[in-house]
Amino acid sequence: MITKEEALRYHAEGRPGKLKVVPTKPTVTAEHLSLAYSPGVAEPCREIAAHPDDAYRYTAKGNLVAVVSNGTAVLGLGNIGALAGKPVMEGKGVLFKRFADVDVFDIEIDSEDPEEVIRAVQLIAPTFGGINLEDIRAPECFRIEEELIETLDIPVFHDDQHGTAIISGAALLNAVDIQGKRLDEVRVVFSGAGASAISCARLYKDLGVLAENLILVDSRGVIHTGREEGMTSQKEEFAADTSARTLADAMKGADVFVGLSQAGLVTPEMVRDMAPKPIIFAMANPDPEISPPQVREIRDDAITATGRSDYANQVNNVLGFPFIFRGALDVRARKINEQMKQAAVQALAELARRGEAIPEVVKRAYPGEAMDFGPGYIIPKPFDPRVLLYVAPAVAQAAIESGVARQEMDLRAYEQQLQMRIVEVSSL
Q: Which residues are catalytic?
A: 37, 92
Q: Which amino acid is at 290?
A: I
Ramachandran class of 256: left when φ > 0, alpha when ψ lies in -120 to 50, beta otherwise? beta
Residue closest to 133 by CA, chosen among 106, 165, 94, 173: 106
Residues recorded for the chain: 428
Q: What is the Cα–Cα distance from 384 to 150, expressed in whole angstroms?
A: 34
Q: Are strands 156-158 and 214-218 parallel, antiparallel or unpaired?
A: unpaired
The DSSP code for 56 is H
What values do phi and psi take at 46, rounded to 5? -65, -40
Q: What is the Cα–Cα distance from 251 to 269, expressed in whole angstroms?
A: 10
Q: What is the Cα–Cα distance from 197 to 218, expressed in whole angstroms?
A: 10
107: β partners: 68
Residue closest to 232 by CA, chosen among 295, 142, 315, 99: 142
Q: Are strands 188-191 and 156-158 parallel, antiparallel or unpaired?
A: unpaired
The DSSP code for 379 is S
Instruction: Determine how many CB atoms are found less than 10 A away from the CB of residue 206.
Output: 15
Q: What is the Cα–Cα distance from 204 to 213, expressed in whole angstroms?
A: 11
Q: What is the Cα–Cα distance from 167 to 315, expressed in whole angstroms?
A: 6
Q: Which amino acid is at 332?
A: R
Q: What is the Cα–Cα distance from 182 to 207, expressed in whole angstroms?
A: 11
SS3 readout for 77-141: CECCCCCCCHHHHHHHHHHHHHHHCCEEEEEECCCCCHHHHHHHHHHHHHHCCEEEECCCCCCHH
